[in-house]
Amino acid sequence: MSPYPHPIIAREGWPFVAIALAATVVLAWLFGTVGGLVGLAALAFVVQFFRDPPREIPMQPGIVLSPADGRIVSVGRTRDPFLDRDALKISVFMNVFNVHSNRSPVDGEVKNAWYRAGSFVNADLDKASEENERNALHLVTKEGRDVTCVQVAGLIARRILCYVKPGDALARGQRYGFIRFGSRVDVYLPADATPRAAVGDIVYAAESVLAEFR
């Protein structure tokens, strides 16, 4: 999979930007300055939501990077429902003002992928991991460590986009998907992984370190 270029606005947002721009012109024509200002506000929101800036990727061995921008809402030991193993789970909640591109947390090969339909409860809640629509990837590092990365739809998110499949290789920080509007990403790591992030921390995709392998 070739590296994704960074044109400032994510490719997923181009149609929405075009629609917002056209709406701004129509509103300005129909309602003058007030309509134009309303249209510009909507356009600004769309542009900020679909922004996709480049990131400086840490290259230290044995680290796990955040797959998403947002706030850490969960760090703890639990059961990985996809690989049926004890695991360290770290969850990142994305609100509508965060960058919504998803990046690979590790260098690894995609071994499996699962899509599960579900509800659309508030992604800030722990039950969203079990009840909401989600798409999971099983990544295996060259050292043989298993990492499960799960895109979870949120209260108003209705589209999870994933561009990789089993057999694909991902480099840490490489873009692999996108979730439209508020949502979360759960990362399940080997149980002996050491967390480097805490609940409440603000993290950035491909830059912030969530954990490290022992």
Strands 108-116 and 63-65, sheet pairing: unpaired
CB within 8 Å of 180: residues ≥ 6 apart: 12, 100, 157, 158, 159, 161
Q: Is the pTM of this model over 0.95?
A: no
Mean pLDDT, residues 111-119: 83
Top mean-pLDDT range of 4-8, 106-110, 123-127? 106-110
| Closest by CA position to 144, among listed 209, 79, 62, 210 | 62
Using CA atoms, how far apart are residues 99 and 204, in angstroms rounded to an integer?
Answer: 9
Residue 1: is its pLDDT beyond 90? no
When pLDDT is cut at 50, 70 and 90, the band that residue 107 belongs to is very high
When pLDDT is cut at 50, 70 and 90, the band that residue 119 belongs to is low
| Closest by CA position to 198, among listed 79, 58, 73 | 73
Q: Which residues are catalytic?
A: 183
Give the CATH superfamily of 63-212.
Glucose Permease (Domain IIA) (2.70.70.10)
Q: What is the three-class DSSP state of 169?
A: strand
Using CA atoms, how far apart are residues 74 and 93, in angstroms rounded to an integer?
Answer: 9
